[in-house]
Structure 1
Amino acid sequence: MGKVWLLTLGAFTLGLDAYVMAGLLPVLADDIGTRVSLAGQLVTVFTLAYAISAPLVAGLLSGVRPRVLIIAALAVFALGNGATALAPSLGALLAARVVAGAGAGVYSALSTAAAAALAPDGRRGRALALVMGGMSAGTVLGVPIGVLLAEHTGWRATMWLVTGLGAVALGGLVALLPQLPAGPAVPARARLAAIADRAVAPIVTVSFLAAVASLGLYTYLAPVLAAAGGVDRVAPYLWAWGAGGVLGSVLAGPLVDRTGRARTLVGVVLAVIVAAQALLSALASAALPGAVVALVAWGAAGWALQVPQQHRLLALRADRGTVALALNSSALYLGSAVGSALGGLALASGTAAEALPWVAAGVAAAALVLHTATGRRSRVASRVSTLGSYEHC
């Protein structure tokens, strides 16, 4: 399992890089002489590149061995972060974040499959959990540490930390990662068919809207807290959100397995996101304890959502579950990109920062309405089908 731990270190670095920028935006914007709303587009371009790179590479380079792609992707990721640390202007930063996001997207897609291939029989679940746990640990542990480092030594030091961790994982994989079997190529037509599938599309759309609401708001958490409660040190709040995320990730799987009610759990989780985001501004102005409650609930619900969503996709389309899951993953990061872009536009147009949680709660509420409506249509269709079968008896 040693090689899986190297893959996990890479995933940890990805989790750190994907979320730490939200905590760095104010100091970064001051350093390069731009507005927070414009600096927030660094998150937009990273997550957008993340979302589209994996399916694009999978289609263009399906014949390339996974080991080569994994090492190349992590190298691109590390180079992109090194370029981020050196970038002198917003334009250079945006270009560097595109490079880093593209490498991260390809590595994320391939590292879980590699972990499963490397694990002995009976331990594949543990190997997958290690890699996915590395991503969440990068958020929970790495992001607050990165923000604290930036507060004392500057945001560029945090980016060098990400670069260094990526380089360590890269060196270990170059030395130790064996050749891996290539998975079956999935033609572009199959991917497009999944998008048009009337059973898959509503689930993926709910994931997209939830990401717009959750990850988009997270990008601007620092200015939101500063405006709502005068908070100038965001690290404790990031810890709260991340700790809630770990709690939600750990509990969601057993809940789905025990109850078998994935669709119901999705509805409950979306309702929690709506409530937590709607209360965030008011609770933030009541000082640290109130905001922590809202952030823990929001983090737990946001991270828990994808567990029942993935279960539903696999149950609906077991014959091409991998394609549906990849589509769902792309929707998540596309939603994050759209959310951060819209949040930046709102701030640039004069919208008060403390209003963003209410806007995000509205988007999450739209996801809940869509989830509820499609669930009702499914039940009605099932009843009609059952009545029709009785009439033919």
Structure 2
Amino acid sequence: MTDRLARAQALLSDRGVDALLVTPGADLRYLTGYHALPLERLTCLVLPARGEATLVVPHLERPAAVAAGVALPIATWQETEDPFELVARLVGDVEVVALDDHMWAARVFALGAAIPGADQVLGGEIVAELRMRKEPSEIEALRAAGAAIDRVHRRMGEWLRAGRTEREVGEDIARAILAEGHLTADFVIVGSGPNGASPHHELSDRVIEAGDPVVIDIGGTTPEGYCSDCTRTYVVGGEPDAEFAALYEVLQRAQAAQREHARPGVTAESVDRVGREIIAGAGYGDRFVHRTGHGIGQETHEEPYIVEGSARLLEPGMAFSIEPGIYLDGRYGARIEDIAICTDDGLEVVNTTSRDLVRLP
């Protein structure tokens, strides 16, 4: 964590920012190793561009910070004290303070009042510059998360069948996500038939019918704090209609082309474009309604985003999803999603289950 703090300080200096203030969330966990609860009492990392960092915590939360292995000076405050004044004293006389992007608005205003002479700027992009380039230990954690969610997909035939509701299937999947090595089941999408045309459909009481295409998008967080996210499309109890089969073949070609194209030195938007052109060429351009992918790590969605308009060059260590989809409103949808990591000269895909249309009895 010391190296991460030092690299963050270097970025602060480069950007003319005097201090970074980070409250509970993924940025705090990344920088300090402390998964602090987002309580009404203020916990805040005070990271100056030069000098020693300090973690401000309520007095009653100090044992939790120590138990988490925080290797920083810890400054505590009592119930009747003003924690924002404590932060202001630690920050000192500065001109520019960066705040984490997810800080509660009440805290933004309180810090503005406590440090009135400083301009406030967003600090999320500073930490994102570090988080999007994964360290070897993080890559190993993402591999383990990918293997765990793959094990759930390989068991899909245990639960997914005609005559059951999406909710029944989803509850079984959620239990399996935990059983296969995750600490939490973060999301379960079971989009059967017309519900598959809604990319963020979750669960409903719709009964799955024979011949239904079913989009299964699932993910969780492992005990190491890293996320999984993988989508496969299934057909249950029969054969899909001819158009769906043709549509799915287009989707497979698009996703394969994106996996082949993605590597260090290409832009994020170019990965999106090569798949989108294939889908548009088959007449489904307006049915691919979301970006190709998102970064992943300690959060399911983080930088880099694989989307038109992002000229960011991919670099070794960047981890992201490749997940094109085609959605026909009122009929069905399909999506294929893998998590991939840029290597020095190519791409490592951590999800290894079949990308074919999986047919279940």
TM-score by length of 1: 0.26
Higher helix proportion: 1
- Select the structure of larger CA radius of gyration: 2
TM-score by length of 2: 0.27
Higher strand proportion: 2
